[in-house]
Structure 1
Amino acid sequence: MRYRLDVVAPTVVDAVRCAGGWIYDRVMAGWDVTVLIASQDDLRPLHILGAQTLDLQSVLDEWEDRPHPQTVAVAADLFDRDPRVLQHVRNALDQGATEVTLWGERLPAELDDSVDAAAHHLSAAARAFKSRALAAANDPGADSVDVSETFRCGMMASVAADLIPAS
């Protein structure tokens, strides 16, 4: 059985900017990575990173029938847009069987005690592929990819050896 990571993002650019290096590194480690996108963007940047893509709305409509991933990563911006996203994150944190990773500035206060700061240090290849994906998305940050990406993470003691507590 291969590990699965589902990434939930409002746009392709947001997913690549905030988690693109981590997506690439997980794909290269043998994970099945699917990015669930809320917009109708060009998906090529995510394919450059090796991720599969699905429409977020169709997945939310059939959430209970979908196999649960080992890790789910969610952009906090989506909590205000669709209450089902927040409910699924709450359920995952309560059940403790799925690692929950979040990014963004506007986390609901109720989640603050459930998640801690974490970072992923990108491999050299991840930085190169993230830069290429950002360029494909016409993002001005394509030439200055950071060496790490920061998240808020619940259930740190899991399959996520690539996420370390941020200090």
Structure 2
Amino acid sequence: MRYRLDVVSPTVLDAVQYAGGWIYDRVMAGWDVCVLVDRHEDVRPLEILGAQTLELESVLESWEQRPHPQTVAVAADLFGRDDRVRRGVLGALEQGATEVTLWGGSVPSELNSSVESVEHRLSAAARAFKAQALKAAVDASADTIERTESFCSGTMVSVAADLVPAS
């Protein structure tokens, strides 16, 4: 059985900026990583990271029927503006078997007691591939790749040791 990470992002650039190194490292660790984004976007930056892509809207329409991944990562602003994403995140946290990770923006108040700050230290390869993915996404800041990516995460059981409490 392979582990699966679903990344729910408003844009390709957002996924690459906030979670690109983590996506790459999970792919290299043997995970199936699928990024859910708008169908009209150029997904080449995500392909550079090794991720598969699916069209966000069609997946959200059938979210309940989709097999649960071991980890779901969501842009915090999507949690706040799309009720389907919100219900999916809250449901995953209630079940406790899925690691739920959010990035960007502030943590919604209803999640404050359910999540904690964590970070992922990027491998050297992840930093290099993230830089190339950012360049493909036309991001001028691609020359400066931080060594860590920061998230808020909540789960009863962690399936990976790559996210550690932020100090």
| Range class of TM-score, shorter chain | over 0.9
Instruction: Give the structure-1-normalised TM-score.
Output: 0.97
The aligned counterpart of 1:95 is 95
Q: What one-letter code is carried by the residue in structure 1 that aligns with 2:127?
A: R
User: Which residue matches 2:2?
Assistant: 2
TM superposition shift of 1:39? 5.8
CA-to-aligned-CA distance 1:79-106 (integer Å, 9 cap, x gap):
2331110111001111101000001113
Letter in 1 for 2:37: I
Check whether the contact 2:96–2:156 (CA below 8 A) recurs between aligned residues. no
Structure 1 counterpart of 2:17: 17
Say if 2:96 and 2:157, in contact at 8 Å, map to a contact too.
no
Partners in 1 of 2:80 and 2:163 — Cα distance?
Answer: 26
The residue aligned with 1:42 is 42
1:152 deviates by: 0.1
Equivalent AA in structure 1 for residue 25 of structure 2: D
| SS class of match (2:74) | strand
What pairs with 1:28-67 in structure 2 (closer than 5 Å)? Answer: 28-38=28-38, 40-67=40-67
Task: Find the aligned partners of 1:16 and 1:67 in 2 and give their Cα distance.
Answer: 24
CA distance in 1, matches of 2:109, 2:147: 29
Aligned mates of 2:82, 2:55 — CA distance in 1: 14
Unaligned residue ranges in structure 1 (runs of 5+): none
Show the counterpart of 1:78.
Answer: 78
Alpha-carbon distance in 1 for matches of 2:55, 2:81: 15
TM superposition shift of 1:155: 1.6
Runs of 4 or more consecutive aligned structure 1 residues displaced over 2 Å after TM superposition: none
* 1:115 partner amino acid: V
Counterpart of 2:155 in structure 1: which amino acid? M
CA distance, structure 1, for counterparts of residue 157 and residue 150 of structure 2: 17
1:17-62 CA distance string (max 9 Å, x none) = 0000000000000000000013621100000000000011100111
User: Does the 8 A contact of 1:103 with 1:151 survive in 2?
Assistant: yes
Please give the per-residue CA displacement for 1:59-87, whole angstroms capped at 9, x wherever unaligned. Answer: 01111221110000000111233111011
Q: Secondary structure at the match of 2:113?
A: helix
- Partner secondary structure for residue 129 of structure 1: helix
Q: Does 1:27 align with 2:23?
A: no
Count of residues in Structure 1 that have an aligned counterpart in Structure 2: 167
Query: Please, which runs of 5 or more residues in structure 2 have no aligned partner?
Result: none
